[in-house]
Structures are given as structure tokens and as C-alpha cells.
């Protein structure tokens, strides 16, 4: 594809590029067309309709009755917003080492001055709810302020059971907030903010929501809003209360990513037209087919949790002595196909296949 600015993208003789990385995912033509529209006055009446529509529509995707805040930022920004709005410097938080993204969120929490306790993991399993329960039960003074987990660990292709984490917290009778990274699951894998008792759910635009990168989300519970009143972490851009005050009328305190919101409006419509249960079933079907193919090739799947195989992506282990990035290069050069690279500890040993289809509609 040759762009008018002279940049050359996916310079293949013909046909569509197969973008099979876990994210950004393929942006359907319907969403591209919806964004191809003039940027309007973000303080005007036309915008207000758009703002109200996306702010209420996105709640249905999070399966929540509560507010969802939209930031012009990548998912990492919404991670930061979740922490700084609810916590105070030095607060103990419990996190689980499920893979690269869990490790990055932990590093961020430490940089922000939180006292992170990291339950170790082998990057082949999901969150250990029993370990969380044991740790919270042992915290007799109830000092731990939050449990932060990744729903779908995009570096390993393992999905964790958030309902089980909720039950673990409840069984321990612990008041810690539950914060969930659903950045690569929302819109691909069943996720229920209210029913599963999440306090803050973090998501991003460029994975299950089929949008380009650039906006991210915090779904917040009443308890999280209550905690925000006491939270002393310095924050300004990420402040929830200013967002919520403007959002009440369909507006934003700063300039919103208007054209991405056009796209979000269309993405919500597409997900609801197909029906969320059908969307989730489609991803499970693609995942099953992908795993069957990988087993047929005689390669190992990184996930070792029988119930944890991600519907959104599959991470594949290369045999010893073979470089995953060399394989990815062959796929790109010969088949116009982008596969996800191995991240962090598994770089060069793993490649990842995103399950979202290259659709034109
Ligand atoms: C992609 C991803 C992130 C990081 O999001 P950015 O948009 O790159 O900032 C964090 N967590 C998970 C699980 C992800 O898949």
C-alpha cells in the first residue's frame, strides 16, 4: 500500500495484509469509513450526541451499569489512571506474575511509589486465586489496598478467571479493591465488570474493540469512586472527577479523540448487532481451530492451563534451536502475514497468533 505522503506500507504485490498480531487488530472497513468524517466542535451540540451515545454504549460492552471513563491514551495510560485515582503513596498492592503485561503494570506501580507484592508465576498459567486468598487471609490488619490482575495475558495467551479472583477476595473477607486489565479481552472474551465485582476495569481501543490505537478506558465501581475521595496519589490529567463532571453532559474536559469516538460508536454497533455471546463464541471457535493447527504442526502451546487457553490469541513455543523471529520474518516476506513477537522473558522463543479475522466488513 502506497500512501499519499510517500510512506509505503505492506509493500506486497497484491491483496490485503494479514495482520494476525494480538493487537492492534484488523480494523474493519465499516469502522474505517465511520472515522472518515470531519472533526467537529467538541463543545457543540453534534458532539454532545456522539459523547452521550458512546459513553452509554460502552457500558454495555463492559457489562456495567456504572460509569466508563474514556482517555485519549494507549492502554498504559488507563493503567496509570486506575492506580493514581484509587491509591495513596506507599499503599501495599497485590499483583500476579502472569506474563509480560502483568510485569509492566507491576513496574509502573513501583515507579509510582506503591509497595507491590508480586505472586510469582511461570508465564504458562493464569492467576492463582488460591494464592491470592491465602495472602489476603494472612493480611490480618487489612493493609493491602488493591488486587491487580490481568484478565487476558497477551504475552502468553492465558486467560484468568476473574470471577474466581472475586470469590477468593470475598472468602478472605478482605476489603481490597479488585482492578482488572481487560485491555486484550474486552470485545473478544466474555467480561462482566458488575457481575464479577471488579472495581476498576482497564481497557484499550486497539484489540477486541477493533479500533486503531489511541483511546483507553476505566470502568469504575461505586467503591472505586469512594476510594478516589481518600486517594492521595498525585494526579492531574488522569483525574476521574473532572472527566465524570463533563461526561454527565456528553462532553470531555480536554479535547477528545473525536474521530476515534466515531469509530467507537460504530464498533459498539457492530458488537451489539452480532450479539456479545456470538462474538465471544466466534473467538473461541477461531482459537480452537488455531490450536488444532498448532498441534498438527507438532509445536507446543505456551499455555498449560487446560481451562486457560485464550480465545483472543495463541502463543506458540518454538522447538529448541529455532528462532521465533526468523519464522515471523519468513511469514511476513513470503505470505504478507504479520505474527506477534515474543515479549520479555519469552522473546525469540515464542510467536503469537491473533484470532481476529481479516474481515472487510
Ligand atoms: C496491549 C496491552 C497493554 C498495553 O497497552 P498499550 O495500548 O500498548 O499501552 C497492557 N495490557 C495488556 C493485557 C495488553 O494486551
Question: d(Cα 168, Cα 133) in Å, to the nearest integer?
Answer: 5
- What pLDDT was estimated at residue 5? 66
Cα of 182 to ligand 1 centre, how many Å?
Answer: 9
- What pLDDT was estimated at residue 140? 97
- What pLDDT was estimated at residue 10? 57
Residues 46-59: pLDDT tens digits? 999 999 999 999 99
Mean of pLDDT values over 80-94: 98
Best residue for ligand 1 mutational test, from 24, 73, 75, 188 (most atoms within 8 Å of Cβ): 75
Whether residue 209 contacts residue 264, with contact meaning beta carbons closer than 8 Å, is answered with yes
In the three-class reduction of DSSP (H, G, I as helix; E, B as strand; rest coil), residue 175 is classed as coil
Best residue for ligand 1 mutational test, from 154, 183, 214, 341 (most atoms within 8 Å of Cβ): 183
Question: d(Cα 327, Cα 334) in Å, to the nearest integer?
Answer: 11
- Tell me the average pLDDT of the chain: 95
Question: d(Cα 40, Cα 317) in Å, to the nearest integer?
Answer: 47
| Ligand 1 site, residue 74, Cβ cutoff 6 A | yes
| Ligand 1 site, residue 181, Cβ cutoff 6 A | yes
Cα of 137 to ligand 1 centre, how many Å?
Answer: 31
Cα of 340 to ligand 1 centre, how many Å?
Answer: 13
Atom of ligand 1 lying closest to residue 152 CA: 13
Is the confidence at residue 11, as pLDDT, over 90?
Answer: no
| Ligand 1 site, residue 290, Cβ cutoff 6 A | no
Is the confidence at residue 359, as pLDDT, over 70?
Answer: no
Atom of ligand 1 lying closest to residue 101 CA: 11
Residue with the bigger pLDDT between 5 and 319: it is 319
| Ligand 1 site, residue 101, Cβ cutoff 6 A | yes
Cα of 59 to ligand 1 centre, how many Å?
Answer: 20
Whether residue 322 contacts residue 348, with contact meaning beta carbons closer than 8 Å, is answered with no
Question: d(Cα 346, Cα 342) in Å, to the nearest integer?
Answer: 5
Phi/psi for 197 (5° steps) reads: 65, 35
Cα of 62 to ligand 1 centre, how many Å?
Answer: 17
Cα of 186 to ligand 1 centre, how many Å?
Answer: 12
| Ligand 1 site, residue 154, Cβ cutoff 6 A | yes
Residues in contact with 116: Cβ distance below 8 Å, sequence separation at least 6, in sequence order: 92, 93, 94, 95, 106, 109, 110
Best residue for ligand 1 mutational test, from 24, 76, 99, 216 (most atoms within 8 Å of Cβ): 76
Helix, strand, coil percentages for the chain (3-state, nearest 5): 40, 15, 45
Mean of pLDDT values over 261-286: 97
Mean of pLDDT values over 166-195: 98
Cα of 296 to ligand 1 centre, how many Å?
Answer: 30
Helical (H) or strand (E) element with 178: strand 177-181
pTM: 0.96
Could you tell me the domains of the chain? 18-27+278-354 (3.90.1150.10), 30-271 (3.40.640.10)
How much of the chain exceeds pLDDT 90, in percent? Answer: 93
| Ligand 1 site, residue 183, Cβ cutoff 6 A | yes
Mean of pLDDT values over 317-339: 96
Across-strand partners of 179? 148, 200
Query: From the CA atom positions of the chain, what is the Rg in Å?
Result: 20
| Ligand 1 site, residue 75, Cβ cutoff 6 A | yes
Atom of ligand 1 lying closest to residue 216 CA: 7
- What pLDDT was estimated at residue 3? 64
| Ligand 1 site, residue 23, Cβ cutoff 6 A | yes
Residues 291-316: pLDDT tens digits? 999 999 999 999 999 999 999 999 99
Best residue for ligand 1 mutational test, from 154, 185, 212 (most atoms within 8 Å of Cβ): 154
Confidence of residue 16 (pLDDT cuts 50, 70, 90): confident
Mean of pLDDT values over 201-213: 97
Nearest alpha carbon to residue 174 among 270, 70, 254, 94: 94
Phi/psi for 130 (5° steps) reads: -65, -40
Amino acid at each position: 500500500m502506497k500512501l499519499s505522503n510517500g510512506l509505503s506500507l505492506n509493500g506486497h504485490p497484491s491483496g490485503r495484509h494479514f495482520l494476525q498480531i494480538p493487537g492492534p487488530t484488523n480494523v474493519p472497513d465499516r469502522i474505517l469509513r465511520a472515522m472518515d468524517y470531519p472533526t467537529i466542535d467538541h463543545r457543540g451540540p453534534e458532539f454532545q450526541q456522539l459523547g452521550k451515545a458512546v459513553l452509554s454504549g460502552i457500558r454495555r460492552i463492559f457489562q456495567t451499569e456504572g460509569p466508563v471513563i474514556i482517555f485519549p491514551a494507549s492502554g498504559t495510560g488507563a493503567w496509570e489512571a486506575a492506580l493514581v485515582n484509587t491509591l495513596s503513596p506507599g499503599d501495599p498492592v497485590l499483583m500476579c506474575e502472569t506474563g509480560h503485561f502483568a510485569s509492566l503494570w507491576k513496574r509502573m506501580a513501583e515507579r509510582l511509589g506503591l509497595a507491590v507484592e508480586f505472586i510469582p508465576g511461570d508465564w504458562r498459567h493464569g492467576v492463582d486465586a488460591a494464592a491470592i486468598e491465602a495472602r489476603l487471609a494472612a493480611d490480618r490488619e487489612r493493609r493491602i489496598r488493591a488486587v491487580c490482575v490481568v484478565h487476558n495475558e497477551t504475552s502468553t495467551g492465558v486467560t484468568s478467571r476473574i470471577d474466581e479472583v472475586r470469590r477468593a477476595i470475598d472468602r478472605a473477607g478482605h476489603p481490597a479493591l479488585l482492578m482488572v486489565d481487560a485491555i486484550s479481552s474486552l470485545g473478544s472474551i466474555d467480561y462482566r465488570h458488575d457481575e464479577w465485582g471488579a472495581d476498576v476495569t482497564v481497557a484499550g481501543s486497539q484489540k477486541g474493540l477493533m479500533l486503531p490505537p489511541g483511546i483507553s478506558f476505566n470502568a469504575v465501581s461505586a467503591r472505586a469512586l469512594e476510594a478516589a475521595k481518600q486517594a492521595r496519589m498525585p494526579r492531574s490529567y488522569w483525574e476521574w472527577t473532572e472527566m465524570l463532571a463533563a461526561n454527565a453532559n456528553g462532553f470531555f474536559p480536554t479535547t477528545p479523540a473525536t474521530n476515534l469516538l466515531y469509530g467507537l460508536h460504530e464498533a459498539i454497533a457492530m458488537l451489539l448487532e452480532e450479539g456479545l455471546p456470538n462474538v465471544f463464541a466466534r473467538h473461541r471457535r477461531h482459537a480452537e481451530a488455531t490450536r488444532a493447527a498448532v498441534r498438527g504442526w507438532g509445536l507446543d502451546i505456551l499455555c498449560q492451563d487446560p481451562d486457560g487457553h485464550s480465545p483472543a490469541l495463541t502463543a506458540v513455543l518454538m522447538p529448541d534451536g529455532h528462532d521465533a523471529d526468523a519464522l515471523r520474518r519468513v511469514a511476513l516476506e513470503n505470505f504478507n502475514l504479520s505474527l506477534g513477537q515474543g515479549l520479555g522473558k519469552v522473546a525469540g522463543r515464542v510467536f503469537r497468533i491473533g484470532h481476529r479475522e481479516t474481515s472487510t466488513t
